[in-house]
Copies of this chain bind each other. A is one copy, B any other.
Amino acid sequence: MIRIGIVGGTGYTGVELLRLLAAHPQARIEIITSRSEEGVRVVDMYPSLRGHYDDLAFSVPDTATLGQCDVVFFATPHGVAHELAAELLATGTRIIDLSADFRLRDADLWAKWYGQPHGAPQLLEQAVYGLPEVNRDAIRNARLIAVPGCYPTSVQLGLIPLLEAGLAQPGSLIADCKSGVSGAGRGAKVSSLFSETTESMKAYGVSGHRHLPEIVQGLERAAGQQVGLTFVPHLTPMIRGIHSTLYAQVPDRSVDLQQLFEQRYADEPFVDVMPAGSHPETRSVRGANMCRLAIHRPQDGDLVVVLAVIDNLVKGASGQAIQNMNIALGLDERLGLEHPALMP
């Protein structure tokens, strides 16, 4: 059995790790931490888990105990993994960080977008960006894995086939993304209240969202050159799901884009290129570690539209984290991640 620790288990990505790992045949949660909920039983906070983790309670983070785990997940706000990572890595455990702490290669860029100095720049060298469809080999040997953000996962999976093939004009990409409310976390904020979000739609962060540099970093890696991206996130009245509508100028009509995407992801267990003409729904991936894609060229023009859907808490966070764990530990990548979406 894999001994697992979770730092910061009270938020949505934390409870989602618990939900998914309950179905993982080789996982055992050894410790889950929360300063604010110390001593509280997990099932008292999350009755949906009754019968699964009846003996587990939140405890205060403690390097010694965490260090005895094979894998430690960080499901924490940014900054926390910076603080604890070096000490933990020294114990020999692996870290899979769901926060933004190690996603950007450039510490200064991180500092600029997060408004505070990078807390562990010396670890960036060994940090691996955990997007398996791009980085699987590096993940296999990684001890410190940065799980991609939810928006970045969907946007990268939707655009990199075009960029790797040199087909998309890199200067004017657009990602119009719609996210469910759980993406804003479980914090008590007026803007996340039911009565403030349901039955309404809005854009936010149009002037600049923290996922922008992460997406650009990934797209530039795929393109091998600078890219220009306009990223407009929207808040949508649903709990889970991201729908990314991606626009790219692809003047070359000689390439069969459907085939290009199908070949790019032929061996990927968690990317599904849908038949030509499809319109993927976010509910088709609800609760599932899957990204579904569809490629359109409306009115046969220069502009290609890629539709990409994921569950922000699964392929956009906790499911992808477990996929990384499976790869890093040499297990079947699909372990614990094969159940279908909950539909309806």
Residues of B within 8 A of A203 (CB): 243, 245, 279, 305, 307
Residue picked from A188, A199, A339, most chain B C-beta under 10 Å: A199
Chain A 219-236 near chain B by CB (<8 Å), digits 1 or 0 = 000000000101110101
Residue A19 lies at the interface, judged by CB distance under 8 Å to chain B:
yes
Q: Which listed segment binds B: A48-56, A69-77, A325-333? A: A48-56
Residue A335 lies at the interface, judged by CB distance under 8 Å to chain B:
no
Starting from the known contacts A48-B342, A192-B194, 11 additional A-B residue pairs (CB-CB under 8 Å) come to: A22-B340, A23-B23, A48-B285, A50-B274, A172-B302, A199-B283, A200-B282, A201-B236, A202-B309, A206-B279, A207-B277
The one of B23, B237, B287, B302 that contacts A194, using a Cβ cutoff of 8 Å: B237
Chain A 5-23 near chain B by CB (<8 Å), digits 1 or 0 = 0000000100100110011
Give Cα distance in the complex from A220 to B178, angstroms: 29
Q: Residue on B with the closest CB to A270?
A: B51
Residue A298 lies at the interface, judged by CB distance under 8 Å to chain B:
yes
The one of B182, B243, B279, B287 that contacts A195, using a Cβ cutoff of 8 Å: B182
Q: Are A344 and B12 in contact (CB under 8 A)?
A: yes
Give Cα distance in the complex from A198 to B18, angstroms: 21
Give Cα distance in the complex from A238 to B247, angstroms: 25
Chain A 50-65 near chain B by CB (<8 Å), digits 1 or 0 = 1110000000000000
Residue A204 lies at the interface, judged by CB distance under 8 Å to chain B:
yes
Give Cα distance in the complex from A309 to B281, angstroms: 23
Residue A47 lies at the interface, judged by CB distance under 8 Å to chain B:
yes
Residues of B within 8 A of A247 (CB): 174, 176, 230, 247
Identify 26 residue pairs between A and B in the complex whose beta-carbon atoms are under 8 Å apart, listed by A's number: A19-B342, A22-B339, A23-B340, A48-B286, A48-B343, A50-B284, A180-B195, A180-B199, A186-B193, A192-B194, A193-B193, A194-B237, A200-B238, A201-B243, A202-B279, A202-B309, A203-B243, A207-B277, A208-B298, A230-B247, A230-B299, A230-B303, A234-B243, A237-B238, A286-B342, A287-B287
Q: Are B201 and A239 in contact (CB under 8 A)?
A: no
Residue A272 lies at the interface, judged by CB distance under 8 Å to chain B:
yes
Partner-B contacts on A (CB < 8 A): 12, 15, 18-19, 22-23, 46-52, 172, 174, 176, 178, 180-182, 186-190, 192-204, 206-208, 228, 230-232, 234, 236-241, 243, 245, 247, 249, 272, 274, 277-288, 290, 292, 296, 298-299, 301-303, 305, 307, 309, 313, 338-344
The one of B23, B281, B305 that contacts A201, using a Cβ cutoff of 8 Å: B281
Q: Are A239 and B344 in contact (CB under 8 A)?
A: yes
Q: Are A239 and B48 in contact (CB under 8 A)?
A: no
Give min CB distance, A197 to chain B, whole Å: 5
Residue picked from A200, A207, A208, A298, most chain B C-beta under 10 Å: A200
The one of B172, B189, B200, B340 that contacts A19, using a Cβ cutoff of 8 Å: B340
